[in-house]
Amino acid sequence: MPRSRFSSVLDARRALRVAFALVVLVAVGVLAVSYVTAPPTFPERVDSGQPVAEPANGTTVVATQGLGRKGWHQSVVGDSPGELVAVASDGSVAYYDDQYQSYWDVDLVEGTESTVMYAVAEFVPADECHASTSCYRNRILETNVSTGETEEIYSYLVRNEPSIRWHDVDRYDDDSLVVADIAEDRAFVVNTTSGIVEWQWDAQSDFSTESGGEFPTDWTHINDVEVLDDGRLMLSLRNQDRVVFVDPEQGVQKDWTLGEEDNYDILYEQHNPDYIPESEGGPAIVVADSHNNRVVEYQRVDGEWEQSWQYGDAVLQWPRDGDRLPNGHTLITDSNGDRIIEVDESGDVVWKLDVNLPYEAERLGTGDESTGGPSAASADLQSHEAEQNSGGLSLRSIAYAIVPGEIILGLGFVLPSWMGFSEAIVLFGLLGVLGLWAVLELYWLPWSVGVSNPIRIRRKD
């Protein structure tokens, strides 16, 4: 090779190496700054005694899942606790507990000011549950977040497999609970005194096992149940992308069903739908449209469901709860955004609590879930979409257009808590640059290897 051409090749390689090194330094710097400036973990903030949020209009109780950024692999063996935290109106922590693996639905107990009922999952080793494998105990507890007094209402032992931990229960009457039984794809009413199941609805009575997810391991993923004033039950079948209404005597009322499987324009693997009654401008449903990264509301108009409101922003990622408050604000649980936010009638964030992987939040004194809040149509609430907050296409919207949402969701479980969406993009960009650099360096090696017998190594021309 002529010397002048050889020098040009070396100069080009040197320039590429400098460019690669600069990109790596910048990316490492961005990640280092994010790590160093990340807020302390919630337990650290609790121990400090300092407020964890700005003042709010009432006490907010939050249940966290206890998976993902705290060590998703550890949760399988029961060593990654969730949290139940009550944040008082002045932003201080009024109650904190992390003794269980997962905390799910949380509701105010009717007739009380500070007692909540919630579902937890407790890991049980095989020898303790007298089984061939480890187990989980689904427990329904009531806790006064002012005094810390706790009482078990009901518990049930299940096998340790994916999707067996109850996500939601509701009070059916004074002596009974209704359970969204995610393990058995059913809803059932159980007498908490006798332990006798008094009624049940099995999803197989109305849905084919060819629908939804994989049968029988995670077929419907029933994640929510709500008892309506007229006696009907409203259920969320996540894997069927549907919210259904069940008459205890007649079964599913098909003309009331919200959603259609795989029609993601309506719902996409939703969580925690809340019913707004006619007295508050309904019938309407506020639902966390999780895989669509929004909270959406549908109004009942002439026997059909019509979208009447939605909220999304550039940060909102996999929300799993949205409660309409009496003042027209909406309390949103942003699971992979690691926050609870309260947005006003125009969609502006007026309050925020940072917490890892929250599942559900309840503002005490505002009615159970959304029953005390007005419908969007009656209160003339303004929708707020992600593009409004970013001035156009956001980095996240571009990523969702390229990468399947399930992969992005999965990454949210394994990435550390200090790493947000932007930091994740930087990380994977860094890995891509390092990979490309390594390939080029191998290509530039002055030696080549020939596959023969014996193997030959010779210098390149």
Q: What span, in angstroms and rounded, lies between the C-alpha atoms of 295 and 283?
A: 17
Which pair of structure tokens corresponds to residue 353?
A: 């609590």
Residue with tokens 């579902």: 119
Is residue 106 one of the residues assigned to a domain? Answer: yes
Last residue of a domain, one of 411, 433, 451: 411
Is residue 416 one of the residues assigned to a domain? Answer: no
pLDDT of residue 461: 56
Same domain, 244 and 191: yes
Same domain, 132 and 151: yes
List of E strands, 52-185: 60-64, 83-87, 93-97, 102-108, 115-124, 135-144, 150-159, 168-173, 176-181
Q: How many other CB atoms are found less than 10 A from the CB of residue 58?
A: 14
pLDDT of residue 460: 59
Residue with tokens 């108009």: 301
Same domain, 26 and 158: no
Q: What span, in angstroms and rounded, lies between the C-alpha atoms of 32 and 52?
A: 24
Integer-rounded Cα Rg, in Å, for the chain is 26
Q: What span, in angstroms and rounded, lies between the C-alpha atoms of 149 and 146?
A: 8
Are 364 and 59 spatial neighbours (Cβ–Cβ below 8 Å)?
A: yes
CATH of the domain at 180: 2.120.10.30
Same domain, 239 and 299: yes
Same domain, 394 and 431: no
Mean pLDDT, 10 residues at a time, the chain of 461 residues: 66 89 94 86 81 95 73 41 95 94 94 96 93 94 97 94 92 96 96 96 96 94 97 98 96 97 97 96 97 97 97 93 98 94 97 94 93 95 76 59 71 74 87 94 76 59 56
Same domain, 298 and 328: yes
Same domain, 321 and 343: yes
Q: How many other CB atoms are found less than 10 A from the CB of residue 244?
A: 25
Last residue of a domain, one of 374, 393, 411: 411
pTM score: 0.87
Same domain, 361 and 438: no
Same domain, 65 and 11: no
pLDDT of residue 75: 38
Q: How many CA atoms lie within 13 A of 169 on its CB side?
A: 33
- Expressed as residue numbers, the domain containing 310 is 42-411
Same domain, 406 and 431: no
Is residue 319 one of the residues assigned to a domain? Answer: yes
Is residue 215 classed exposed, middle or buried when 0-12, 13-18 and 19+ CB atoms within 10 A define those classes? middle
Same domain, 85 and 112: yes
Query: What is the tally of structural domains in the chain?
Result: 2
Q: Which residues of 351-386 are buried (b: 16+ CB within 10 A; e: fewer)?
A: bbbbbbbbbbbbbbebbbbbbbbbbbbebebebbeb
How many secondary structure helices (H) and strands (E) does the chain include?
Answer: 9, 26
Same domain, 26 and 59: no
